[in-house]
Structure 1
Amino acid sequence: MENRPQLVIIVGSVREGRFGPVVASWVAQQAALHGVFEVEVVDLAETDVPLALPAASPKHAGDDYPRPAGMAALTSALTNADAFVVVTPEYNHSYPASLKAAIDWHFTQWAAKPVAFVSYGGAAGGRHAVLHLENVLTELHAVTVRDGLAFPNYFTSWQDGRPLDPASVGYARTVLDQLAWWAVALRSAREAVPYPG
């Protein structure tokens, strides 16, 4: 496929000893095998994302929003993305502060673009975190896809960098199929008519 859509996989946790990079690496492998996307992994632990934001909202400032220089690569990746996969753990029934800060520093970068979620955690597999993220990203005019991947008890259900359940590959394919459809459709729509959000 020419001009393949750009998929950005975001590693949402910056906590010491985090499992997120393992999950993100596996997701990136599945996306590469899927063959539709150009894939980029963005690790928030490698980005300067302050928790304190300026008084003004990025909603109206656009490219003029005063972001730290250390956030330039993240902003560029989000701007150029046609689709996102957010990889998140569940901390206290929600998602990490690092991920919330990265979202809040941006606004137009999410609009009219599809987002899928891959979560991991204890018994719930990170599903509480995803429910919160769906609300937040819908507010920013992103389109959250229905299906996602959740990995309960990841500490016993993964080995050698991959999930032990072989059905995970099929689930990943379903998520990527949906994400690819939305990515192409929404990119065409954005190119035809500016999004009114």
Structure 2
Amino acid sequence: MLIIASVREGRIGPTVADWFIDQIDPSDLDLEVLDVARASEPDTSELLARADGFVIATPEYNHSYPGHLKVLIDEHGPEWSRKPVMFVSYGGVSGGLRAVEHLRAVFAELHAVGTQTGVVIHAPWEHTVDGRLVLDEVAAASAREAMRELLWWAELLKPTRTSGERGAA
């Protein structure tokens, strides 16, 4: 599942998400997109529960991640457990890395696995052409590699979710 975390007016989150989807091969996946700005409570729980892993496209707001994303995370604790989470972050100079730093700690507390690789996009608003994000092959390769890692973790962790194992505390 790809989660678009931004809800602000004039946001670029959907553009970043579209770029990411264009870089991977979604034909191999049953990829669902959850836009936090349009999430509805009953459906959201079901969507999160059936996902095997998460890609979170998040901006950095005030050296952290969006408040609406925090609410989504906190309202759905068990749905994250024993699933991998990968980040596509974006922002100014930091490229959203401070948001990711905070999110890693939050997801670790929920027994989710943050992937080592991810995608960092500096000033995406400066790289849009006709409403589409245009980045170099290095960025595209990082998206593909990050997705490969997410899928690896998803397959590795899947048996622990179906068996009911909790792992060592």
TM-score range, shorter chain: over 0.9
> Structure 1 residue runs of 4+, over 4 Å off?
none
- 2:46 counterpart letter in structure 1: S
Cα offset, 1:136, TM superposition: 0.5
The structure-2 alpha-carbon separation of the partners of 1:128 and 1:150, relative to structure 1 and needing over 3 Å to count, comes to same
Pick from 2, 11, 33: which aligns with 1:9?
A: 2
Amino acid at match of 1:191: T
Residue among 23, 46, 65 paired with 2:38: 46
Asked if the contact 1:93–1:129 (Cα under 8 Å) also holds between the matched residues in 2, the reply is: yes
Corresponding residue for residue 141 of structure 2? 170
Distance 1:93 1:159 in 2: 27
Give the structure 2 partner of residue 76 of structure 1. Answer: 46
Counterpart secondary structure, 2:63: coil
After superposition, the C-alpha distances for 1:146-165 in whole angstroms (9 at most, x for unaligned) are 01101012121333413322
Q: Determine whether 1:20 maps to 2:7.
A: no
TM-score (norm 2): 0.92
- Asked if 1:145 is matched to 2:137, the reply is no
1:128 counterpart residue number: 98
Cα pair 1:88 1:119 within 8 Å, conserved: yes
Bigger helix fraction: 2
Match of 1:180 in 2: 151
**Hey, what's the Cα distance between the residues in 1 that align with 2:20 and 2:33?**
10
Quote the offset at 1:74 in angstroms: 1.2
Report the Cα distance in structure 2 between the residues aligned to 1:187 and 1:44, rounded to whole angstroms: 25
Local SS of the residue matching 1:28: helix
Q: Give the total of aligned pairs.
A: 167
Structure 1 residue 29 corresponds to structure 2 residue 29: no
Partner SS, residue 140 of structure 2: helix
- Please say which of residues 85-94 and 157-166 is displaced more in the overlay: 157-166
Measured against aligned partners, the alpha-carbon deviations of 1:15-65 in whole angstroms (never above 9, x if no partner) come to 10000011112222333x164421000001112xxxxxxxxxxxxxxxxxx
Alpha-carbon distance in structure 2 between the residues aligned to 1:126 and 1:74:
25
